[in-house]
Structure 1
Amino acid sequence: MTSRSRPVHVDILDAAIVPKSKKLLSYGGLDPIRAVATLVDCFEDPAKPKYCAQCFQACVVVLAHYTLGWPGNVPVLRYHFPDVYDRCIRFLLFPRTELEMDALASSVFECHCDLSDDFLRDLHDMPTGIMVDADGKNIKRDEENIRDAFLLVISLVHNGIQPAMEAGNLYKADAHAEKAARKGVVLPWPESIHSLIPYGARESILALGAVIQKTPLPLSAGFLGSIMDCVREPTIRPFLESPTLSGDVIGIANIQLISWTMLTTPGMRSGRSPEGNVCCKIITEMKNVCLVLRVLISLCDDDELIRFNRQAKEQMGQGNILEMCNHALGYLPQAYAKIRRPVPGITTDFHYCVEILSIMGGRLHFALGHQGSKWNQLILDRSRNLLIGRIDMGLQGYEAIFAFSHSYLCWAPGCPNTFTSAERKFSKCARCERVAYCSKECQLRGWKDPVSPHKAICPKIAHVVKALQITAKPTQRARDDFSLHCLERGVDLVDMVEICRHYRYLRGTHSARAPEDADITLAEDGHDDQEKQSADFTAETCM
């Protein structure tokens, strides 16, 4: 990875970066201190905002309009007005059911503000993007307004998280507090990871999933990625358990594919934005998605990435993550080539996206055991490097055969049956005598599978079993020099690699099973502990 794969650590309590003044910049000439107080008051009860969407959106505009520049008010708010961020993130991540989220989306458009207050009346007169009816009083309740009601609040909190990501490890909260006391400075927001997951990791991440359903845009993906990057491991399980987040990631990523398709298809382009500006936006918005992917790459094992890949397709129906990476690696270089004028940071963002997408694509390609060369070359290169970097090539194939020999699964792609669920043993392929199926239908489906047909691998397994004299229930671990042993017996190491890829692919199609069914365990009772330990070790090594 590049240096961007992990933030450069800086001292978050360096007196030089602590703003000495509490003065806030303002957009629209309104009092920024009053805007802060109004936001804090609005979200005192995170379940029910005190003011309408127009009111709290206008407060965000006053404090964080793009014309204020970067970092704008962020340092002052983080050090001197942290309640703004605390209240806003508690509002965004408050656990709600789908019905409660719909009710909230409706209630924030009911204005009960006291317009006799000059400041509140000025907020209602400020343009925020929220559309109102002809009488200028009632906010229209459409999907775009519901989206915008959350989006500006997300942008405010997201900007506040960025310095925390650069500062480094929020887990050092106690050490930070001691250092702050010695230096006589206050801790900036967020003081610890608990500030980012106020209701616990699971409830907060699942609640964010509900919010992203209302705001399925790149900024929301960046917000999710920023929280995951700061909190790290505790966010992975709830992310994978979410019924929507995996699908949201691919849905948001595909927005860039749609933008590229519209830009390059005759008759489909709309708007007057220069071509180079559209291409810059495609790259910078893909960077938000790549932040989520980077966290998953660094914290997930192969099985978890396979689950993410599968869930993305099931939840959104727009293809899987591997396919998304493949498409993006095709159009992003073309988009970058269309940018004629230098744009600060765009080259770094482009290379960052390409690296993350190629790593994610390569890991999934390797873990799923895909064959063929239809994938982007960067994905194929990453997958091959993973293969070379893993254990001895001959040993990989042997461990796959070992796992097939001791498994009690039906190995037809996606079949959920096991010896336990069917209450019987399964017949094995008559030729290789290793791969079991619960029925003739499953055997035929596995034989002709379009991705990794058993028909192509079966004779290779049979040859290896015969050449290496592998017993029906092997109990001995392979030697460290197993590749040399294979060559001495006339076994092609490429065959061993393909056997392992076949095994990995089939394991990937079964990853939805319950853990107790998915584990490689011995099919028969009465085996001694040594044999069971050998099988358990084999499962860990192969996976």
Structure 2
Amino acid sequence: MDGHELNEPFAPDIHYRTPQTQSYLYIRMAHHGYLTACAKFVSLPRSEEEMRRLRTDVFTCECSLPENEDARRLVQRLHTFGTARAQFELDDLVHALVRHLAGILNHAVMSQSVGGMTAVGYITENHVKSVMVRPWPVDTITQVVPHGLRQSMEGYAASLSLSLRRRPHEALLLFSTLLAICGSPIILPVLTLHPDWTSRVVDIAESLIDERTAMVGKSVDAGTEESWKDTFMLLVECAGDFSDTRYLDEGELNLLARVETVADADEEPKESRSLLSVCDRLLRHLPCFLDGSNVFTQGDMASFTQVLTIHGAAFYAHRLPHECLAVCPQILDYYNQERNTASAADPSTLAFHSIDWASTMRCCSAPECHETFVTVGRRLARCAGCGLLRFCSRACQKKAWKHAKLPHKAVCKKLRVLLERMDFFEHAEDADCGLQSFVDACEEDEELGELALDCAGHMYDLMAEQHDIREAYMAEAYREMQKRSLSRGDS
């Protein structure tokens, strides 16, 4: 189900490899019903009795062999499953589906062909005129969240829990991808079942580092190195999703980056196990992965260094007082650099970033409202006046219009003028080009510069107010650097 041939070992029985295949786009376009059925199975919450019956049904399967040759080979494989276990079990099925769905949804996110918590004006495969059938998922609400938001998230959390028993990598990938697509509603169900999930991520990183350091100076086969690289990329991408301040507020980020402190014999804090520590440790051990490698390259090292520094700085900005960790210089220097750069940014730059943020967010723009397209179950309409901010209801729009601290009526017309005069959405695909054009125009046109100044303050305060971020300046500095550094796309 993830590109392996029928005679190859079951993926969780071998070194981790990212689920991927050139057939994913074809599968997403040709098999909508099948993929929706996979999502329905994985996201369905079940009682203990239902789980018991399902385990029995899977374990005691008495199905006859189908006539279709491919189907018959698959059933025969399931009946003589694996070398380490006697028979195909429910946990195997769930893990396989979690891995498969993680690969499919990750492909959708990477190819910018799924609507998630952020959006861009151009969705690559969905807008190609020659494509007659849009790739799955066409509708996030009905296809990825088929049982309603609360029940679907609880179902996904239960399936992730089963998958963790085999290996945490696939569960982490699906968790991270669901967070990028559906936002924070997946967090609490997962943490309720596994409050120690951060330790699982730390364990993956430590196991990777320990395995590599144990092989220093020894010959390593390409397959093992490719597994290390895939695990490294999994940790880097997940760190990015779990520190993305575009759609995570401070409380949610702190839940995800939860700190576990290891004490010494005298009960004095000795070590912090957190996502910040993951970024820190990976950065410190990067050179040993390049040593004698035929898979890791200098380009990989430069890219990993940059993104781990960015994500580490985001976690450092939200560190807890009791976190004891001597952060590596790269993270600390970048944090201080971006703090100074963002605080000294000119108004036109701030205006561009804040408008860019508002244009991609698929959440309600009323300051105290945290509804998203997932929680509401539909697309959120933009304000008819400015054409930029989205609201979940007329009540929220009216409340935002006359808000005591951040009244939308103060900037509605100004935002409309800025968008029209700058053709903002035409530059949405190229942030660097759009930013420079915007800054140049504001410098040449005094009136436009004043509009940018008025809008920058309001929008920046709105961003900080809505997300309740302790250090709001990190949000846009992080966002801009992330867009330049990561090949991963949002839609």
Amino acid at match of 1:362: A
Q: Could you say which residue in structure 2 is the equivalent of 1:374?
A: 326
Deviation at 1:222, TM superposition (A): 1.9
Higher relative contact order (Cα pairs below 8 Å, separated by 6+ residues): 2
Do residues 192 (structure 1) and 192 (structure 2) align? no
Query: 1:46-57 maps to which residues of 2 (within 5 A)?
Result: none
Amino acid at match of 2:276: L
Among candidates 93, 97, 112, match of residue 167 of structure 1: 112
Change (3 A) 1:187 1:363: closer
Question: Secondary structure, in 3 states, of the residue corresponding to 1:139?
Answer: coil
Q: Could you say which residue in structure 1 is the equivalent of 2:234?
A: 288
Q: Could you say which residue in structure 2 is the equivalent of 1:487?
A: none
Contact conserved, 1:226 with 1:291, CA < 8 A, in 2? no
Amino acid at match of 2:308: L
Query: 1:149-228 maps to which residues of 2 (within 5 A)?
Result: 149-165=93-109, 166-170=111-115, 185-194=132-141, 195-216=143-164, 217-228=168-179
Q: Aligned partners of 1:540 and 1:76: how far apart in 2?
A: 42
Deviations 1:184-211 (A, max 9, x none): 8122211122222222344333322222
Deviation at 1:105, TM superposition (A): 4.4
**Count, aligned residues:** 320
Deviations 1:241-291 (A, max 9, x none): 53246633541452242143144348x99xx98266434422311322332
Query: 1:130-529 maps to which residues of 2 (within 5 A)?
Result: 130-131=81-82, 139=87, 147-165=91-109, 166-170=111-115, 185-194=132-141, 195-216=143-164, 217-229=168-180, 231=181, 234-242=182-190, 243-244=192-193, 247-248=196-197, 250-265=199-214, 274=220, 277-298=223-244, 299-310=247-258, 319-339=273-293, 341-342=294-295, 351-368=302-319, 374-389=326-341
Deviations 1:135-156 (A, max 9, x none): xxx727xxxx554322332333
Q: Could you say which residue in structure 1 is the equivalent of 2:487?
A: none
Change (3 A) 1:275 1:185: closer
TM-score (ref. length: structure 1): 0.48
Q: Aligned partners of 1:128 and 1:329: how far apart in 2?
A: 45
Change (3 A) 1:265 1:87: same
Change (3 A) 1:387 1:90: same
Q: Aligned partners of 1:367 and 1:133: how far apart in 2?
A: 43
Contact conserved, 1:253 with 1:324, CA < 8 A, in 2? yes
Change (3 A) 1:228 1:335: same
TM-score (ref. length: structure 2): 0.52
Q: Aligned partners of 1:81 and 1:542: how far apart in 2?
A: 45
Q: Aligned partners of 2:48 and 2:284: how far apart in 1?
A: 37
Question: Secondary structure, in 3 states, of the residue corresponding to 1:297?
Answer: coil
Deviations 1:47-71 (A, max 9, x none): xxxxxxx9xx99xxxxxxx9x9931
Change (3 A) 1:278 1:541: closer
Deviation at 1:131, TM superposition (A): 4.0
Deviation at 1:313, TM superposition (A): 7.2
Amino acid at match of 1:247: D
Deviation at 1:301, TM superposition (A): 3.2
Amino acid at match of 1:228: L
Amino acid at match of 1:90: K
Structure 1's unaligned 5+ residue stretches are: 1-24, 30-53, 59-65, 393-535
Amino acid at match of 2:173: G
Structure index of larger Rg: 1
Structure 2's unaligned 5+ residue stretches are: 12-16, 263-270, 345-463, 472-491
Q: Aligned partners of 1:26 and 1:118: how far apart in 2?
A: 20
Q: Aligned partners of 2:74 and 2:468: how far apart in 1?
A: 60
Q: Could you say which residue in structure 2 is the equivalent of 1:497?
A: none
